[in-house]
Amino acid sequence: MERDHLILLDRDPQVVGIASQPFWLHWHEGTRRRRHAPDYFVRLADGRGRVVDVRADDQVDDAAAESFEAMELACRAVGWSSSGPGHLSRSSWRTCGGRPATGGAGVCGG
């Protein structure tokens, strides 16, 4: 599934750079320590950054949704867009506000 998304990102003319599992986000949830590594970071032709997580419906549990929320907040703080929590089929791919999988990558936040 990640490979398929990588192919779509690579074909998107707005994407000029891609890094796979580019960093770890660490945060505390009460006394519990959490961390999450997104699947991709992409640089867009206009200079904006986007974090992409690829996840099938049956893989988005409460912990994954919480990780996506934390990532979205962190990305917003630095001016990047990000994928958000949600449930998608195996044939679709996750980017916030994205176009259909057959149409390439979408961008969250316009």
- Is the pTM higher than 0.75? no
Q: Which long-range contacts (CB under 8 A, 24 or more apart) does 10-15 make?
A: 11/104, 12/104, 12/105, 13/45, 13/104, 14/44, 14/45, 14/46, 14/104, 14/105, 14/107, 15/42, 15/43, 15/44, 15/45, 15/105
**6 belongs to a structural domain:** yes
pLDDT tens digits, residue range 34-75?
999 999 999 999 999 999 988 877 888 888 888 888 889 999
Could you list the residue range(s) of the whole structural domain that residue 95 is in?
Answer: 2-103
**53 belongs to a structural domain:** yes
Question: How many domains does the chain divide into?
Answer: 1
pLDDT tens digits, residue range 1-39?
788 888 988 999 999 999 999 999 999 888 889 999 999
**109 belongs to a structural domain:** no
**82 belongs to a structural domain:** yes
- Per the model's pLDDT, the better-predicted residue between 98 and 62 turns out to be 62
**26 belongs to a structural domain:** yes
Q: For residue 47, count CB atoms less than 10 angstroms from its CB and return exposed for 0-12, middle for 13-18, buried for 19 or more.
A: exposed
pLDDT at residue 93 in the model:
40
